[in-house]
Amino acid sequence: MWVEKYRPKSVEDMVGNEDSRIGFLNWLKEWRMGSKPALLIGAPGTGKTTLVHLTANRLGLNIIELNASDVRTKERMERKLGPMLDSQGLFNERPLIFLDEVDGMYDRQDRGGVEFVEELMERSPAPIVMAANVEDDKKITKLIRKSRVFRFRRLPPRFMEIYIEDIIKKEKVRFGKEAIRILVKEAKGDMRAAINSAQSLAGLSAEELRSVISSRDQSYSLREGLESFFNAKSKEKAYEALRSCDATPRDKVRLAYTSIINGNLSNDELIEALEGLGDADEIIRRIERTQEWRILRYFDRVLAYSLFKALPKGRVSYNEDDMPWDLKLRMWNESRALRDASKSLSKFLHASSREIMSVFMSYLLFILSKDKESMERFVTLLGLEGSVLKVLMKEADRVVSRV
Amino acid sequence: MWTEKYRPLRLEDLVNQRDIVERLKSMLNSPNEMPHLLFAGPPGTGKTTVALCIARSILRDYWRDYTLELNASDERGINTVRDRVKTFARYIDKRTGIPFRIIILDEADEMTGDAQTALRRIMEESSRICRFILICNYSSGIIEPIQSRCAIFRFSRLEKEDIVNYLKKICEHEKVKYSDKALSLIHELAEGDLRLAINILQSSSALGEVSVENVKKISGMSGKAKVGEMVNMALEGRFKEARERLLELMRVYGMSERDVIKYANEEVFKLNLPNLDEVAEALARYDYRLIVGAHPDIQLTAMIAELGRIGKGASTSTTKKKESS
């Protein structure tokens, strides 16, 4: 792997993001117990992981690393980090805790992982360094507030070209300047991607490289794929667009569904499209159930042809919402209030909250709607929040209006 | 709620279910030997009431502390059930003179087969200290090994006479004006479910009196009626409205997709449709898809759409018929 072979050997060999590199080195030199942890944010291939390793080496720190390939539940992390946390001073080596790809910590698989990190930040006897790709994630914004943040911009093409040219020279392969320029542009500031494609594409002419890259472009993202699917001029084009979507069949159906539901369609068109969708959805579930994956080859055609026939061009565009936002918000509020209420009612009425929703709630709200006072008493009796009262009153109004 | 206020406290006061009461009473003569119990039957026929009566009768003053009520649909998994049973089934204070603790597990047939197998282990582990009363709608939803460990009691739908008389008693006690016709209408709407009948009674009495007119007004409030309304909207081709109603039923009222189809199926037969066969066939097809695990939103939305088309066919065919006649 060229990526490993040509990973910079010292901080000085790295390119781009000089401020952050110097800032990080100083932060680590000055770190003492109680200091904030460091959070490196930036696109992939901009040198975050490399910087952490090189800096730690220079200062003689021993890296304990947890990245996305480890399962990061609370227990696992405690097991790995625990001995280090407890045995401070027993060993002479100074540790550095490196949590790579913290934005990849998902609530379900890495249960309690984020909480553990937050807890660790408070009491860690060793410096903590975290790295993330995006910062608009909720978990990350929380971490940003508590950390010293270093940002990594995408690397400028000129730096990358020099770096790649150097590798090409050392590897003694033939690769023209123009080809390198195309390849670097394609990598969009990601050094790792650039080196990887250099290794796999070295020797190609600029001309050949262009055609390789353009054919690679045809693997659409789901969004682009569905857009061109909905606008396809022939049923074969529609099938092509759907087939080259880089997404699971399940996601294709789900997003085709939300797009169609929001589309500007007549009832008849909707009916036909939904029938096609229903069929395709059934195929997936059957495949999953029977594990007969070879049936999958029919899936894209079934979905593409039936929808192509049903949908007039240009009336549907990509949409991820299964209902308008105001409706969604209203339903979310109501369902939370009603769920809270029925949970508290459960012990008084000897019924499950589900039964209470189906057998009691409407009647109860109707009976209580006669006067506001008894509704208020009811809400306090159940120990519910004031906001619930409002929703229940509104829901009661709706029940009454139907009578 | 009147359902709680008028819930019988003793087995003797139970509405009908005479065989069950007799068998249970003889069992309660020697409570120490009571096996686990399994109550099966339609909703509103007294299963929970009987379970609570037994708890009261055996555990007397201690019944609140020594009874644990669990709902399979509210507990998040068999592990939470196990945890709750474990903490509950620790010991019995000898001074109380109580033979065992009682665990009432409602909606047991909603549990998956795996969960029930785990439940069977839990029942065995805790049987020294606990007796289980399992409650379900269909005993066929309970795995064999559990059935064989329980004494099974089947509750039948209540007769019209029983329901009407009970409602009358409540009306007299609450001093509410009522008409006999209204009460038998309530019975029809509730289909043998006393709990639902009492809810309808109390709601219509909130309108002033229990009259046929008021009961009719209230009847639109049940989940079933709401599904019926949705089916109607769908058949009339009001797709957007029908879908909004569907989402409301599922997201706000937490109705399961299976219940939507079940109720829809019951409602369409009341509608007197010319092409009922097509409707029934469509419902069956979508029900099957849900069983295979298909996406509920997509499938039910598609179902509404298809009902719209069937409805359209129906209206044109009826006009054609009119023209030809």
For chain B, domain boundaries: 2-154, 160-220, 223-314
CB burial class (10 A; 0-12, 13-18, 19+) of residue A185? middle
pLDDT beyond 80 at B265: yes
Instruction: Tell me if domain B160-220 and domain B223-314 are identical in fold.
Output: no
What's the token pair of residue A13? 């060999």
Mean pLDDT of A129-138: 81
Tell me if A354 and B295 make a contact (CB, 8 A cut-off): no
Secondary structure in 3-state letters for chain A: CHHHHCCCCCHHHCCCCHHHHHHHHHHHHHCCCCCCCEEEEECCCCCHHHHHHHHHHHHCEEEEEECCCCCCCHHHHHHHHHHHHHCCCCCCCEEEEEECCHHHCCCCCCCCHHHHHHHHHHHCCCCEEEEECCCCCHHHHHHHHCCEEEEECCCCHHHHHHHHHHHHHHHCCCCCHHHHHHHHHHHCCCHHHHHHHHHHHCCCCHHHHHHHHHHHCCCECHHHHHHHHHCCCCHHHHHHHHHCECCCHHHHHHHHHHHHHCCCCCHHHHHHHHHHHHHHHHHHHHHHHHCCHHHHHHHHHHHHHHHHHHCCCCCCCCCCCCCCHHHHHHHHHHHHHHHHHHHHHHHHHCCCHHHHHHHHHHHHHHHHCCCHHHHHHHHHHCCCCHHHHHHHHHHHHHHHHHC
Residue-level pLDDT at A38: 93
Res A4: pLDDT: 84
Give yes or no for a contact between B10 and B119, defined as CB atoms under 8 angstroms apart. no
| Range A12-32 average pLDDT | 89
Average pLDDT over residues B305-320: 72
Of B48, B207, B244, the CB nearest to A327: B244
List % helix, strand, coil for chain B (3-state, nearest 5): 65, 10, 25
Burial class of residue A291 in the structure, from the number of CB atoms within 10 Å of its CB (0-12 exposed, 13-18 middle, 19+ buried): exposed
Is the pLDDT score of B286 beyond 90?
A: yes
CA A238 remoteness from chain centre:
28
Q: In this structure, what token pair is assigned to residue A152?
A: 């990594």
pLDDT value at position B75? 77
CA-nearest residue to A270 within chain B is B305
Q: Which of A267, A322, A399 sits opposite B297 (nearest CB)?
A: A322
Q: Cβ of A288 and B293 within 8 Å?
A: yes
| Contacts of the segment B258-265: beta carbons below 8 A, 24+ positions apart | B258/B287, B258/B290, B259/A358, B259/B223, B260/B227, B260/B300, B261/B286, B261/B287, B261/B290, B261/B300, B261/B303, B263/B223, B263/B224, B263/B227, B263/B228, B264/B227, B264/B228, B264/B230, B264/B231
What's the mean per-residue pLDDT of chain B? 86
For residue A42, the cross-strand partners are: A152
Give the chain B residue whose CA is nearest to the CA of A363: B203
CB contact under 8 A, A277 and B302: yes
As given in the structure block, the two tokens for residue A156 are 């400028």
Complex prediction ipTM = 0.77
Asked if B176 reaches chain A (Cβ–Cβ under 8 Å), the answer is no
pLDDT tens column, A320-361: 888 888 888 888 888 888 888 888 888 888 888 888 887 788
Helices and strands, number each (H, E), in chain B: 16, 5
d(C-alpha B73, C-alpha B256), whole Å? 11
What pLDDT digit, counting tens, does each position of A256-292 carry?
999 999 888 888 888 889 988 998 999 888 888 887 7
Confidence at B316, pLDDT banded by 50, 70, 90: low
Sheet holding A38-42, edge to edge: A61-66, A94-99, A128-132, A38-42, A148-152
Kindly list the residues from chain B whose CB atom is less than 8 angstroms away from the CB atom of residue A346: 71, 74
Average pLDDT over residues B235-243: 90
The per-residue pLDDT for range A361-393, each reduced to its tens digit, is 888 888 888 777 778 888 888 887 777 888 888
Pairwise pLDDT comparison (B121 vs B49), residue with the higher score: B49
**In the predicted model, what is the mean pLDDT of chain A?**
82
Q: Which residues pair with B71 in a beta bridge?
A: B106
Residue A104 has pLDDT above 70, yes or no: no
**More confident site: A82 or A272:** A272
Residue B305 to residue A270, Cβ atoms within 8 A: yes
How does DSSP classify residue B325? -
Q: Is the pLDDT of residue B323 over 60?
A: no
**A402/B247 touch (CB, cutoff 8 Å), yes or no:** no
How many angstroms separate the CA atoms of A218 and A225, rounded?
9
**pLDDT tens string A174-230:** 888 888 888 888 888 888 888 888 887 777 777 777 776 665 554 567 788 888 888
Q: Provide the CA B108 distance to its chain's centre, in angstroms.
A: 12
Q: Which two tokens mark B154?
A: 């089947």
Average pLDDT (B28-51) is: 89
Task: Check residue A344 and give its pLDDT.
Answer: 86
pLDDT tens readout for residues A33-56: 888 899 999 888 899 989 999 999
Residue of B80, B213, B287, B295 to mutate, interface with A, max A Cβ within 10 Å:
B295
Residue B322: what pLDDT?
44
Q: Which residues contact B77 (CB under 8 A, 6 or more apart)?
A: B115
User: Which whole number is the average pLDDT over B131-160?
Assistant: 89
Contacts of B314 (CB under 8 A, 6+ apart): B235, B273, B274, B275
Q: What percentage of chain B exceeds 90 in pLDDT?
A: 28
Average of per-residue pLDDT across B159-165: 91
What predicted TM-score, i.e. pTM, was given to this entire model? Answer: 0.61
Report which of A327, A335, A389 is spatially closest to residue A357, judged by C-alpha positions.
A335
Q: Give the whole-angstrom CA distance, residue B67 versus residue B56.
A: 9
Q: Is the pLDDT of residue B319 over 50?
A: no
- Residue A44 falls in which region: left (phi positive, over 0), alpha (psi -120 to 50) or beta: beta
pLDDT for A93: 65
At B104, is the secondary structure helix, strand, or coil? Answer: strand
Closest residue in chain A to residue B64, using alpha carbons only = A347
pLDDT band at B230 (very low <50, low <70, confident <90, very high): very high
Interface contact flag, A274 B302, Cβ < 8 Å: yes
Fold held by B160-220: Helicase, Ruva Protein; domain 3 (1.10.8)
Q: Is A349 on the interface with B (CB under 8 A)?
A: yes
Q: Which residues 255-294 in chain B show a CB within 8 A of chain A?
A: 255-256, 259, 286, 289, 292-294
CB-based contact, A191 to chain B, within 8 Å? no
The arithmetic mean of pLDDT across residues A238-265, rounded, is 86
What are the Cα distances from residue B116, in Å, to A69, A248, A383, B223?
Answer: 35, 33, 34, 29
Say if A323 is an interface residue toward chain B (CB within 8 Å).
Answer: yes
Query: Looking at domain B223-314, does it have CATH number 1.20.272.10?
Result: yes
Neighbours of A116 (CB within 10 A): 20
- Please provide residue A62's backbone torsions phi and psi, each rounded to the nearest 5 degrees: -100, 115
Task: Tally the C-alpha atoms within 13 A of residue A287's C-alpha that lie toward its C-beta.
Answer: 16
Q: What is the structure's pLDDT at B103?
A: 92
Q: Quick one: pLDDT at residue A45? A: 86
**For residues B115-143, average pLDDT:** 87
Would you say residue B276 has pLDDT above 90? Answer: no
Residue ranges of A 216-275 with Cβ closer than 8 A to chain B: 253-254, 257, 261, 267-268, 270-271, 274-275
CA B290 to chain centre: 21
Between the alpha carbon of residue A174 and those of residues A160, A180, A280, A386, the distances in Å are 18, 11, 49, 73
| Whether B301 and A261 lie within 8 Å, measured CB to CB | yes
CB atoms within 10 A of CB A240: 19
- For residue A399, give the nearest of B107, B221, B302 by CB distance: B221
* pLDDT tens digits along B60-115: 888 888 899 988 877 767 777 888 888 887 777 777 788 889 999 998 888 888 88
Report the amino acid identity of residue A339.
R
| AA identity, residue A163 | Y
Of A279, A300, A310, nearest to A236 by C-alpha is: A300
B320 pLDDT more than 50: no
Enumerate residues 123 to 182 of chain A having a beta carbon within 8 A of any beta carbon in chain B. Answer: none
Name the CATH superfamily for A17-152.
Answer: P-loop containing nucleotide triphosphate hydrolases (3.40.50.300)
Beta bridge partners of B40: B136, B154
Which residues in chain B touch residue A289, judged by CB atoms under 8 angstroms apart? 292-293
Q: Between A281, A327, A359, which is nearest B199 by CB?
A: A359
CB of A403 within 8 Å of a chain B CB? The answer is yes
Tell me what pLDDT residue B300 has.
94
Query: What distance in Å separates the CA atoms of residue B315 and residue A283, rounded to the nearest whole number?
Result: 32
Asked if pLDDT for residue B49 goes beyond 90, the answer is yes
Instruction: Name the minimum distance, in Å, from the CA of B2 to any CA of chain A.
Output: 10
Token readout for A192 is 């790792």
Q: Do A363 and B200 touch (CB under 8 A)?
A: yes
B2-154 folds as: Rossmann fold (3.40.50)
CB proximity under 8 Å: B 32-51 to A: 43, 48
